[in-house]
């Protein structure tokens, strides 16, 4: 087991994954984390896309591989085109 997934009965669509072990150097990733507002006035650190993709490659479950494809597609859509 790599991750223990938790959720609230009130918020079943927003699970929280708790790592059983650190799949990356925590202090380094925490320093590089993207801080996102999750509620009015409440921010939380979110792992970088590159780190998330690396973790999903290691897990290699079907859903992780599908997630990687979607994350990479999103990145391509955000990159400026060659003609710009």
Please give the pLDDT value at position 40: 94
Strands (E) in the chain, as ranges, are: 3-6, 16-19, 34-39, 42-46
In the chain the first and final C-alpha atoms are separated, in Å, by 45
Q: What total of structural domains would you count in the chain?
A: 1
In the predicted model, what is the mean pLDDT of residues 37-61?
A: 91
83 assigned to some structural domain:
no
Residue 55 lies in a domain: yes
Which pLDDT tens digit goes with each residue over 6-18?
Answer: 989 998 888 888 8
pLDDT of residue 24: 86
Q: What is the pLDDT of residue 62?
A: 93
Range of the domain at 13: 3-78
66-79: average pLDDT: 93
Is residue 29 situated within a structural domain? Answer: yes
């Amino acid at each position: 087991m790599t991750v223990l997934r938790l959720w609230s009965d009130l918020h079943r669509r927003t699970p929280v994954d708790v790592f059983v072990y650190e799949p990356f150097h925590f202090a380094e990733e925490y320093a590089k984390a993207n801080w996102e507002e999750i509620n009015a006035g409440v921010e939380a650190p979110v792992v970088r896309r590159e780190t998330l993709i690396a973790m999903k490659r290691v897990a290699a479950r079907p859903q992780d591989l599908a997630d990687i494809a979607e994350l990479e597609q999103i990145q391509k859509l955000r990159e400026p085109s060659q003609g710009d």
